[in-house]
Chains A and B, each alone.
Chain A
Amino acid sequence: MSTPAILKALTEKEIISEEQASIISSYETSKPFSLHWELRSILYLGILLFTSGAGIIIYENIDTIGHQVIIAIIAFLTAFCFYYTFKHSLPFSWSEVRNPNKFSDYVLLLECTLFLALEGYLQFQYKFFGSRYGLAIIIPTIIFFFSAYRFDHRGALSMAITGLASWLGLTIAPMSILAENDFGNERLLISAMILGSLLVLIGWLSEEKELKRHFSFTYFLLGGNLASIASLIGFFTKDYGIICFIVSICLSGFFIFRARKAQSLVFLLMGVVYGYLVLSYSVLRPLGDAAAIVGVYYVLLSSAGIIYFLLNFKKFLGIKK
């Protein structure tokens, strides 16, 4: 429907006057075309390509350029980015800070990646941290957490959480949880469950106590997925499965009931999917061979039930909107 048609409909129902309609129509014809998102995406892509290219070039020429020069350049760039972000930052606050500066978000991102490159380089060339790998990981993690809270940057926060996870030997990036974590390893499985649950707890606290409450989404999504997947695998494979079952059910329940407050329903979906998997498994496993036949009926009826729930979840959970 074109703008004139909508304006005509609105004036016919006497919602707006003729003058207002002509104001809106002249606004629509003269308003500028915003390139905001296109330019931001190009900038982000540029940072991604630039840092990758720089990394490979340094790696290829490591013998010829001279280490001090490379380190000096990266260190200088990092320091410059850090300085820039600081100079253009707003005072700290526990609520969301909107920085009017157009670049500082991206410069901070560049700074974080460059810092990682710098540190990796130092360790590779000079064994700066010796064999204390833990220290090498926790330092950027601390810096990222600091940057995330000081400059109010969700990207830095998720990099910090990633760092924290890799300090424990885990991969937390949503697409790689299953592929890259060795959950056969008991220690890793348990730390994944604990870390994930802790992150969910922190997210919940930051929401309840209004401490950067817009960070809670990142905590929930990264932590919740890690904990849920780890506890599911634990439940399927380990003999202390009952604990994993409880963790998993609690998480799913938490996510489903949290949907009352949330603006985003991604957690409702997570809760339903993980909860469904764990419940189905616990129903079907004791059946043994009979599971194949009962399974058809079970899946048919239960997925119909889930669809019914999702179609009416607002009613069930008492959401008014």
Chain B
Amino acid sequence: MRKAYNITWIENLHIVQTAAKWKSKNLLTSEQEALVKTKFPEHFYRPGLFVKSGLFIFGLIGCSFFAGFLSIFVADMASENTFSVVSLIAAVAYFFFLEHLIKNNKLYHSGIDNALLYAGIGAAMTPVFLLFEGAGFAVYCMLALIILTVATLRYADLLTTLGCFLALFALVGDLMMKFPIGKALLPFALMILSAIVFSQVRLIRNIYYQECKMLLQGLCMVVFYLGGNYFIVREGNAMLNELHLPISPQIDFAPLFYLFTTAIPIGYIFFGLKKHDRLFLIIGLFCFGFSIYTYRHYFSPLTPAQELLVAGALLITIAASAIKYLHTPKFGLSDEQDGRRKLANLEAILVAQNLGQTPAEKGFEFGGGNFGGGGAGEVY
């Protein structure tokens, strides 16, 4: 598949970024860094997160009104066929603009190209789906998977990658659900499938798909964990078999799922720390949090408030002692700050959103769980 973006520039961009990192650690001199920039040129238009979001929003607005503009002409003869034709025209126009802008404005995931790509895929899928109307969920999944895979291979876009992943898993899930035995084996099937996808994705070496690879690996890890999570399996089992009981019944192989629920997050965290893999570490931490939730959902002797208090105290203690302990690096781990805090400004805003509610008049009444400014107060 021919790639939409200039692969040499992407490589150069990566080299320049790495060089900047080394420069900040004084491994390169400023002259060497400047030399890197001239010898490895890239001319992508990369405007930063906020302008990118602006481009994306206005891109989507423009695309949807372009579709509206087209349908003005056929407003009198509305039928399924004209609808398909309009979608096809729109899709051709979106992809034409997309390719044109990538070439001439040197875009590289700059917001507007994302918007055009999604609009284009949406418009292209409409007639295809209309053609196969009533064909069943699995067929739609398959069609979506094909279209999205082609788009991902060409544009290496993250959302289309996510779409591929979801379509694949929905397809397998749907096929499994058709048989009673499949329902029972669904957790294992999802775990095996994510393990297979993970091991295949791991082999991708091309830098063009680096971000897609990360995303897919992360998704596989999450699904692998959720497939083995006791809470998900037990509640999912009750839901799939339409058992509307106040407490979902115990599942088969429960000890096996206890084991998965405990071992997988610990394994992720351990592997992440050992191999210095941040993706494993962070997903492991989240999974661990969810495992705690799973445990307390079935066995907790405490009230939610006590749990909050204990969990908070534990987290503070763990984090504080780890920070103290890692004051000098140990076991290849450190508490050193990589570079400057980039998000300090946004952190402050987060604080205002979460903690900063001064007791207003009604705050004094301590509404259930809304202690005046205590932090649980999302309500006022």
Chain A positions near chain B (C-beta within 8 angstroms): 1, 3, 6, 9-10, 13, 15-16, 20, 23-24, 27, 32-36, 38-40, 42-43, 45-60, 102-103, 109, 112-113, 116-117, 119-121, 123-124, 133, 136-137, 140-141, 154-155, 157-159, 161-163, 166-167, 169, 171-176, 180, 214, 217-218, 221-222, 264-266, 268-269, 272-273, 296-297, 299-300, 303-304, 306-307, 310-311, 313
Is A10 in contact with B334, judged by CB distance below 8 angstroms? no
With known contacts A117-B371, A158-B348, A53–B319 Cβ distance under 8 A: no
B332 to chain A, nearest CB (A): 5
Return the chain A residue nearest B106 by Cβ: A311
A82 to chain B, nearest CB (A): 16
* B336: contacting residue among A27, A34, A163, CB under 8 A: A34
Return the chain B residue nearest A160 by Cβ: B356
By a CB distance below 8 angstroms, the chain B residues around A16 are: 28, 32
* B62: contacting residue among A33, A50, A304, CB under 8 A: A304
Is A48 in contact with B354, judged by CB distance below 8 angstroms? yes
B211 to chain A, nearest CB (A): 13
A40, A52, A155 pick with most chain B CB within 10 angstroms:
A52
9 contacts between A and B (CB under 8 A): A9-B15, A34-B336, A38-B281, A53-B311, A120-B373, A154-B344, A159-B356, A264-B50, A310-B55
Chain B positions near chain A (C-beta within 8 angstroms): 11, 14-15, 18-19, 22, 25, 27-28, 32, 35-36, 39-40, 45, 47-48, 50-51, 53-55, 57-59, 61-62, 65-66, 68-69, 72, 105, 112, 207, 273, 276, 278, 281-282, 285, 303-320, 322-323, 326, 329, 332-338, 344-345, 347-349, 351-361, 363-366, 368-369, 371-376, 380
By a CB distance below 8 angstroms, the chain A residues around B50 are: 264-266, 268-269
Is A53 in contact with B364, judged by CB distance below 8 angstroms? no
Is A52 in contact with B374, judged by CB distance below 8 angstroms? yes
With known contacts A33-B333, A46-B314, A310-B55, A161–B338 Cβ distance under 8 A: no
With known contacts A35-B334, A307-B58, A50–B358 Cβ distance under 8 A: no
Interface of A is mostly: helix
Complex Cα gap A137–B373 (Å): 11
B328 to chain A, nearest CB (A): 10
By a CB distance below 8 angstroms, the chain B residues around A120 are: 359, 363-364, 366, 371-374
Known: A33-B333, A46-B315, A57-B306. 16 other contacts (CB 8 A): A1-B18, A10-B36, A13-B39, A20-B27, A35-B281, A42-B285, A50-B308, A50-B313, A51-B374, A55-B375, A116-B358, A123-B364, A137-B360, A162-B358, A163-B358, A167-B358
With known contacts A35-B322, A269-B54, A307-B59, A158–B334 Cβ distance under 8 A: no
CB contacts between A and B, total, < 8 Å: 308
Is B69 in contact with A297, judged by CB distance below 8 angstroms? yes
Is B58 in contact with A43, judged by CB distance below 8 angstroms? no
Is A36 in contact with B337, judged by CB distance below 8 angstroms? yes
Complex Cα gap A53–B40 (Å): 54
Complex Cα gap A311–B101 (Å): 10
Is B359 in contact with A15, judged by CB distance below 8 angstroms? no
With known contacts A32-B333, A311-B112, A48–B355 Cβ distance under 8 A: yes
Is B15 in contact with A299, judged by CB distance below 8 angstroms? no
* B352: contacting residue among A49, A58, A161, CB under 8 A: A161
